Amino acid sequence: MHGLSTAMSRTMAASAAKEDAGKLAPGATEQPGLREWLRDLDAPRDLRAAAFDSRGDARAAITGSAARGIARRLRRRGLDVFDRNSFLVADAEGPLEDGEIERARAWGKALRSEQRAP
């Protein structure tokens, strides 16, 4: 999967999960995906935002970056996206690579400080 999922890719993933010993969470396919959620987002203009994703440990040109697409969609909705980041996973099912949780926490703390800047 490269970038944001689509309705079709979520359906395909749900089918695969059902075949793989029923690992699909109840109601997982009933809610809109992130792409649809962002399309319908009703947020105040000029709100500051940051975008992140998780992806495999390779160049974003190879793995894709949902954070890039998320940031673009947030900007289209009028938000000021001041940062984006990717956190690396060990494989498609996770978990995060060693040290990534700590890196994500540090990034979140830095964002909290940065969001107060004009």
Q: How many helices (H) and strands (E) would you count in the chain?
A: 5, 2
pLDDT digits (tens, 9 = 90+) for 68-101: 999 999 999 999 999 999 999 988 778 999 999 9
Rounded Cα distance, 8 and 21, in Å:
21
- 5: pLDDT strictly greater than 80: no
State both tokens at 5: 């999922």
What stretches of the chain adopt beta strand conformation (E)? 48-56, 80-89
The residue-averaged pLDDT of 37-42 equals 91
Rounded Cα distance, 55 and 2, in Å:
9
- Going from N- to C-terminal start, the domains of the chain cover 7-114
Q: Percent of the chain having pLDDT more than 90? A: 45
Nearest residue to 2 via CA among 83, 59, 43, 49: 59
